[in-house]
Structure 1
Amino acid sequence: MSGNLDDIVGFKQLFLKLVKNRYFVIISLFLSFALAYAYNRYSTEYFNVETSLLFKEDNRLSTIQLYDNSYNNNENLENKSLLINSYPLVYKTLEDLRFDIAYFLEGNIKITETLYAPFILQCDNTSKLKGKRFKIKYVDDASFIFIDLSTKNEQKRRFNEKFFIYGEQVNVQYNINFKVSNDDIPTTIVKFQNLKDLALKYKQKIKIEKIVKESTVMNISMLTRDEEKGVVFLNKLVDNYIEDEINQKNLASNNTIRFINDQLEEMSDSLALIEQQIQQYKNTNKITDLSLKAQSIYTNIVSLETELAKAKTLNNYYAYLEEYLGKGKNLESISVPTSFGVNDVNLTSLVNQLIEIQIKKNILIDGGQVNNPAVNQYNRQTKQLILNIKEAIKTSKKANNLLITDYNSRIYKMEQSLSSIPEVEMELLNIERLQSISENIYTFLLQKRAEAKIDLSSNVADTKVLERAINLNKKAAFPNKERTYIIALLFGLLIPIIYLIILDLLNNKVLSKLDLEKLTNISILAILARNYSGNTLLSNHSPKSSVYEGFRALRFNLNTLNKDNSSKVYLITSSVSGEGKTYVAENLSIVFAKSGKKTLLVGGDLRRPKLYTDFGLNNNLGISNYINSDLDYRKLISKTNISNLDILIAGPLPSNPSDTLLDPKFSLLMQKMKDIYDVIIIDTPPLGLVTDALTLMKYSDINLYVVRQKYTKKAMLNYVNDMHQNNRLGKIYTIFNDLNENTDIYGYYYNYGYYQENEYFSKN
């Protein structure tokens, strides 16, 4: 409970110190808010623009099953994130938008980037302009100023002495053409940027993250100086990604169609030539149709030869596949076996795995992660898959060649049965047989091409734009003005607080009752307000003054301690001179005398006596004379103009003050004084300098140790604490002296209007 109270008191003390230094706090707050305003006003603003995409799960690429059931969806999303923020895609987007040319509007204080400049630059070739900056100032309808900022070369251009017409093309150096869009044209800076460097900067700006942990919705955002420019960039980036995704899907289908078209072109030429041969043969040999027997044999042979041709087509695909693998390029674009009717499950699975690995690797490389360990792993997997595919091709070709051999054998047997057919009819049969086989193969290829085209036209992106980036004209994400002002408020208060704390840490004086209570366990008996009047004695003060009331409180507290009237001698001391021990002794004597007590004020400080000067007396006769001669003690007592108050002056400085106080005659003197007076107040030398105070304490009932605010050093209290713990100070209490009247006992600022002036109000 005590600890909590100390914390509360400490907080209040700090708060009221801030109140005392309120002008410093106000200045600190004003400067902090002024800096915050300037920071908010003139800092480059950055806006947060964002868009969100939905990625479908279990994605497929065209006719290939790119991702099998073991494919991790999180890995898929990470790969897509890398692809969206890949260098090639960002570069292409910047190139499409012509962001290599940047426009800046020049204001009075800062320069602001803008998407919509007052004019549009059209450059045939910007390669020579990379890194250059130009400033264009509109002068009037007939002229403008063109400044090359790198050379500071300034030119005023006119247009053939004609008035300027908006929309008219203007030719200036560097072969730059521009059109002015309106007649209110601010000074504009044009900067030509390197697209490669710009793409790297934009890559760092883009942030991609999941909106919800378990969802496949990704949020794409970036901080940009021009909100409209950021919106245009993000939307174009997403459009390019979706377009690229569809193109990747169409790649395999396009390769399949290209391969089939090559085959169809060859078959078309063959069919045309065969058709001519048949017609020519019929005309020459005067024959129209085959006999029924020939037709029957012909049909069977054509059927077998069609299957034979299909088997040979498969061998063509195997040859194509081996050649493609041998090149080792664009492996993700291989036409899959199923596109050509190859039903080899093992080969199809291996090709799909190869395509999957290549796409994963390309995503990492396009994302700038060439050194990613996964790339090396994918390369190793690719080599192994190529070996496995080649082995599978050998197995498939072997099985396919067995079919070809079987078809050839069966065809040969059928051909033997044609020996009974006339030679003319036999020749026609061979030609028509070749035509039928070619037509069947041609039809087969047409069917496969149609399937590939249908597949191509049905390809859609696996990504859907949920929310496009839009210009909401919302407040800037940076600087955050509210947060800046909050920080300014905190700093405006923190600086004075730190300053006050540092002052406290550097301070070695007792400042408040709280300090005194922390530094010593000696009870505080009274707190005395500062005396601003310049009058040392209370007899010259208003009875209702705060100073007077403080000594009344001290008298009351002493009377409370002395309910049994066993104490009548009070000793006043301090650590060093200047803390107010004599002042306290004098005025405590006065308030006791005013209460009707017969009071004696004893000048126990034989070294630097002062009592006599404050009361207008002389120091010719006192304690030192009594000890060193046979004077009557009654001659030593001096009367004052205050009723009931007498003074026993110290007298001239003896040769050895300490021995004087130890003389038995002084002990007898003090005993006589106790018999005569109700209250005896002893003023002593400082406790920390000589032992006189300790010597005099054997005559006192209660000792009062004076501590002066902002004067007594904290280290002095350590000495007093040690003596108190060793029981060398008897019954002792502290008096906190010279407290500022605007400060209460804990150091709070206080105004108490009960008295005639701002009175000190003691919580005691």
Structure 2
Amino acid sequence: MLDTKDFSFFETQNNFDFKAFFTKVIGYWPWFIVTLVIAFTVAYQVNIRKQKIYGVSTTVAYKEENNPFFTANTSLVFNWGGTSDQVQNLTTTIKSRSHNEMVVKELNYFIEYLRQGKYNLEDAYGEVPFYININKNFPQITDQLINIKFLSPTEYEISINFESSKVSLLNYNTEVLSSTNVVIGEFKKRYKIGETVSLPFLNWKLELTNNPGFYDGSTHIVRFANFNGIVENYKNIDISSDGKGGGVLQLNMQGTNKARMVDYLNGTVNKLISRQLEAKNQFAKNTIAFIDSTLVAMEGQLKDTENELKVFSLDKNIYEVELGGEKYTDKISDLDVEKDVINRKLAYYNNLKSYLINSTDYSKLPAPSVAGIEDPNIISNVSKLTALSAERSAMSYAVKNDKQFKDFDVQMDALKRVLLENISAAKSAIQYDLSAVNRKIGLVENNIKKLPAQQQELVKINRKYDLNKNVYNSFLEKRSEADIVRAANLSDIQFIDPAKDTGGGLLGPKTSVNYILALFMGLLLPLIFIFIITILDNTIKNTDDISRLTTIPILGVVGKNPGKSNLAVFEKPKSALAESFRSIRSSLQFLYKKQQSGSKVLMLTSSISGEGKTFSAINIATVFALSEKKTVIVGLDLRKPKIFQDFQIENNIGAVNYLIGQKSLEEITQSTSIPYLDFIPSGPIPPNPAELIMGDSMKEMLDELKLKYDYIILDTPPVGLVSDALELTPFCDATLYVVRQSITKKDMLTLVNNKHKRGELKNISIVLNGFENKAKYGYGYGYGYGYGNYANGYHENEEPKNPIVKFIKKTFKK
């Protein structure tokens, strides 16, 4: 039946031992050195292979510039619109594909000028003595290194290594991809500087820069890059806005070539300025185009009227005919001009209304002022609608963000509704003015009808001529104003600080960061590995582990055996290992003093095989024998005997032969090379080892041994595997349970605890075997041994095998 004592594992709690973990970390110091060396080597190799990274920036401002020619007397008003969201739109434009395509094409940035660096190809833009002027009507080879070597001041050689029979071509003007066949191998050909290169895969002229320097004999590399890839790289330009001034933007670029970045930043801003000014002048262009078309028609009408007046004046005294009618001519002309102005306003309103209802593109609307409309609401709203429409059309090639398009559409719809309401209100007022003018004209016309026929005819002709002349002159004046406005327009985008190479701007590589990262990784990786080992390792590491898991006393601590033989105490009696066994002997003698006099029987057992039970039995027996106490070792591991090998004795006969009655005690007892120490091997492996140990013959053998020896050491099987050792407990004065560092599992002590609490193992103590303090570079034998230089002279010093440990020990000795 199970005893309540079997559940003793509830009495202990497994907590993480930080002290043991720290000790283990120190013990694995070579791992840290190796990982640190590897990490720093990798960091060094990365640092020397990285190219220097520079940062270049330019600052621009968006500020709506008023045209200096917009005065109170100027009848034309052109307004590009409000400033709301213009900075955001500007940022979007800078990052747009279409804008960057224009800049890349204008700067020919798809042509890469390279040089072979120590570890990789480097950007040599601005440093080569030449530039490539390509013929954009023909395709060029892409992604292929073209070597250029100057053979003389006037001649150079092109060499290309073709690895495939077909190469890709790209026409950088039309962006059409194609391919052509070539001969595999190295292609070479010589050309004069400035000579046209016309090949199926290459079309250019190589020109020298203004100051080429010494270039004779130099070698350079050119490559035509993927156009879309280059554009995509420049789309990632960093843009930040000034927190204090919302209209100020800073454009930042990072790269390996400052000259290339300076030219690109300035180029992209100049392109922005020209595009924005062009959009700003769009309203003026629309107005000029409308006026020009109107002037052509008016000029024809004016000529026809002049011809009609000439024909009428023939054979007539014009001054006599005019007499009496001139007062009506001036009056009717003024009224006709007033009526024409009203009619032009009505016509503009009707056309504008139809345009707003039926069209979606409002970028070509003329200024309302060409029709004499001076309503500031209509002028401003038409201007804003034109600007929004033009901007939306431009963005359709730049972004694919439906939300932004919807925002534009919402704004334009709102403006359309406001304009339609303004048109309705304005037309109502104008209709009233038109009726009033028509009434005045009717009265004057009635008076004219009372004049003679010739005077009526002359008034009619003069009336038509004056009207056409006034309208023509009015449009000429407005066209002149439009030209002045367009010429005087300023871009709303202005340079504050153009990009410039001032000699600084180095950003990287940040070698210190890589070294810090190497230090971090070099320490972290082994630490993580040691932590994993510690978590997964469930073995006994030190006496603290034993004390936490059991109340059984610890009799001693035995260090790791540095030799190959188990006769460690006999071979090196002054070693630290021998002293640890002498300490166990002293502790055992203290235990025996509490018992009656006579021979003492000591049993050694363990949980499993390999924990050093036999090693401990031999050396404990040796220290007793060296103190001139008659000692015998009895090999009672009848299932797996091996102690006889250490004494180089045959295992033909032994304890088994005595237990089955074949041999006497004298016949199975054999002397060893150690004085006062005898040995009884286990003998042949029996079929029933447990029954032999339980028999009466075992008691008889031990009784005989007590008569001859002072100490009897029993080497028994592991108690965790078989029950043989438990049968010997009644005959023993003390039991040593051997626990080995990094071998014995912590859970195994639960078995010993249970057997001890049930009384199956009496007078039991624990010996920690194979203990090695890895936190030191020497051995830490014993229970409190390992005093370093303070132990010199007390026992033999064992030189460590590790050469690094030897060096450290010698260094500390000095």
- Pick from 174, 187, 211: which aligns with 1:154? 187
Provide the C-alpha distance between the structure 2 equivalents of 1:731 and 1:43, rounded to a whole number of angstroms: 71
Report what 2:94 is aligned to: 84
- Pick which of 80-89 and 697-706 moved more: 697-706
* 1:94 positional shift: 1.5
SS in 1 for 2:319: coil
* 1:730 positional shift: 4.1
Give yes or no for contact 1:551–1:588 (8 Å, CA) kept in 2.
Answer: yes
The one-letter code matched in structure 2 to 1:6 is D
Aligned ranges 1:344-493 → 2 under 5 Å: 351=382, 354-355=385-386, 357-359=388-390, 361-369=392-400, 372=402, 375=405, 400-401=430-431, 403-418=433-448, 437=467, 440-441=470-471, 444-445=474-475, 448-449=478-479, 452-453=482-483, 455-456=485-486, 459-471=489-501, 481-490=511-520
Q: In percent, how many aligned pairs have the same letter? A: 26
1:697 is the counterpart of 2:715:
no
Aligned ranges 1:509-524 → 2 under 5 Å: 512-513=541-542, 517=546, 521=550, 524=554
SS in 2 for 1:461: coil
Give yes or no for contact 2:635–2:681 (8 Å, CA) kept in 1.
Answer: yes
1:188 is the counterpart of 2:220:
yes
Provide the C-alpha distance between the structure 2 equivalents of 1:617 and 1:373, rounded to a whole number of angstroms: 95
* 1:410 positional shift: 0.8
Q: Deviations over 1:552-589 (max 9, x none)?
A: 34345557778966997643212455543233234334
Q: Deviations over 1:666-685 (max 9, x none)?
A: 55886898999987654333
Give yes or no for contact 1:636–1:649 (8 Å, CA) kept in 2.
Answer: yes
- Pick from 552, 557, 561: which aligns with 1:527? 557
Provide the C-alpha distance between the structure 2 equivalents of 1:576 and 1:222, rounded to a whole number of angstroms: 69
Provide the C-alpha distance between the structure 2 equivalents of 1:748 and 1:405, rounded to a whole number of angstroms: 123
Give yes or no for contact 2:241–2:248 (8 Å, CA) kept in 1.
Answer: yes
Provide the C-alpha distance between the structure 1 equivalents of 2:423 and 2:375, rounded to a whole number of angstroms: 10
Q: Deviations over 1:600-628 (max 9, x none)?
A: 55626263485898599999897975995
Provide the C-alpha distance between the structure 1 equivalents of 2:319 and 2:626, rounded to a whole number of angstroms: 163
Q: Deviations over 1:255-312 (max 9, x none)?
A: 2233334445665676688789889959952639977x86665554444333212112
Give yes or no for contact 1:654–1:660 (8 Å, CA) kept in 2.
Answer: no
1:752 is the counterpart of 2:754:
no
* 1:338 positional shift: 4.9
Give yes or no for contact 2:651–2:684 (8 Å, CA) kept in 1.
Answer: no
* 1:44 positional shift: 6.6
The one-letter code matched in structure 1 to 2:542 is K
Report what 1:165 is aligned to: none
Aligned ranges 1:119-518 → 2 under 5 Å: 119-131=130-142, 133=144, 134-141=146-153, 143-150=155-162, 151=182, 152=185, 154-157=187-190, 169-174=194-199, 176-180=204-208, 181-184=212-215, 186-193=218-225, 195=227, 197-198=228-229, 200-202=231-233, 204-210=235-241, 212=243, 215-263=246-294, 281=313, 284-285=316-317, 287=319, 300-318=331-349, 321=352, 328=359, 331-338=362-369, 340-343=371-374, 351=382, 354-355=385-386, 357-359=388-390, 361-369=392-400, 372=402, 375=405, 400-401=430-431, 403-418=433-448, 437=467, 440-441=470-471, 444-445=474-475, 448-449=478-479, 452-453=482-483, 455-456=485-486, 459-471=489-501, 481-490=511-520, 512-513=541-542, 517=546
SS in 1 for 2:139: helix
The one-letter code matched in structure 2 to 1:129 is Q
Aligned ranges 1:579-598 → 2 under 5 Å: 579-589=611-621, 591=623
The one-letter code matched in structure 2 to 1:189 is I
Provide the C-alpha distance between the structure 2 equivalents of 1:339 and 1:729, rounded to a whole number of angstroms: 118
User: TM-score under structure 1 normalisation?
Assistant: 0.76
Give yes or no for contact 1:604–1:685 (8 Å, CA) kept in 2.
Answer: no
Report what 1:552 is aligned to: 582
* 1:229 positional shift: 1.4
User: TM-score under structure 2 normalisation?
Assistant: 0.72
Report what 1:16 is aligned to: 27
* 1:337 positional shift: 2.6
Q: Deviations over 1:209-262 (max 9, x none)?
A: 546499454443445453321221122111111221121111102222333344
The one-letter code matched in structure 2 to 1:311 is I
Give yes or no for contact 2:197–2:205 (8 Å, CA) kept in 1.
Answer: yes
Aligned residues: 737
Provide the C-alpha distance between the structure 2 equivalents of 1:132 and 1:647, rounded to a whole number of angstroms: 88
The change in CA–CA distance for 1:513 and 1:410 in structure 2 (over 3 A counts) is: same
SS in 2 for 1:287: helix
Query: What value does the CA root-mean-square deviation take over the aligned residues?
Result: 5.5
Report what 2:715 is aligned to: 683
Give yes or no for contact 2:342–2:434 (8 Å, CA) kept in 1.
Answer: yes
Provide the C-alpha distance between the structure 2 equivalents of 1:635 and 1:135, rounded to a whole number of angstroms: 97
The change in CA–CA distance for 1:407 and 1:689 in structure 2 (over 3 A counts) is: closer
Give yes or no for contact 2:668–2:681 (8 Å, CA) kept in 1.
Answer: no
Give yes or no for contact 2:79–2:384 (8 Å, CA) kept in 1.
Answer: no
Report what 2:806 is aligned to: none
Report what 1:95 is aligned to: 105
SS in 2 for 1:135: strand
Report what 1:51 is aligned to: 58
Provide the C-alpha distance between the structure 1 equivalents of 2:221 and 2:740, rounded to a whole number of angstroms: 70
Provide the C-alpha distance between the structure 1 equivalents of 2:621 and 2:355, rounded to a whole number of angstroms: 118
Report what 1:114 is aligned to: 124
The change in CA–CA distance for 1:233 and 1:282 in structure 2 (over 3 A counts) is: same
The change in CA–CA distance for 1:331 and 1:588 in structure 2 (over 3 A counts) is: same
Provide the C-alpha distance between the structure 2 equivalents of 1:634 and 1:691, rounded to a whole number of angstroms: 28
Provide the C-alpha distance between the structure 1 equivalents of 2:392 and 2:521, rounded to a whole number of angstroms: 51
Show structure 2 runs of 5+ residues with no match: 1-12, 71-75, 163-181, 800-814
Q: Deviations over 1:176-204 (max 9, x none)?
A: 32234343354223334565x35642454
* 1:705 positional shift: 1.8
* 1:98 positional shift: 2.1
Show structure 1 runs of 5+ residues with no match: 160-167
Give yes or no for contact 2:612–2:738 (8 Å, CA) kept in 1.
Answer: yes
Give yes or no for contact 1:253–1:456 (8 Å, CA) kept in 2.
Answer: yes
Q: Deviations over 1:654-703 (max 9, x none)?
A: 96654454345755886898999987654333324542211222344543
* 1:527 positional shift: 2.2
1:573 is the counterpart of 2:605:
yes
Provide the C-alpha distance between the structure 2 equivalents of 1:561 and 1:126, rounded to a whole number of angstroms: 107
Q: Deviations over 1:421-479 (max 9, x none)?
A: 67776666656655655565456545644654564455433334444333366677676
The one-letter code matched in structure 1 to 2:267 is K
SS in 2 for 1:314: helix
Q: Deviations over 1:299-333 (max 9, x none)?
A: 54444333212112224434664686699575224
The change in CA–CA distance for 1:560 and 1:179 in structure 2 (over 3 A counts) is: farther
The one-letter code matched in structure 2 to 1:155 is K
SS in 2 for 1:178: strand
The one-letter code matched in structure 2 to 1:9 is A
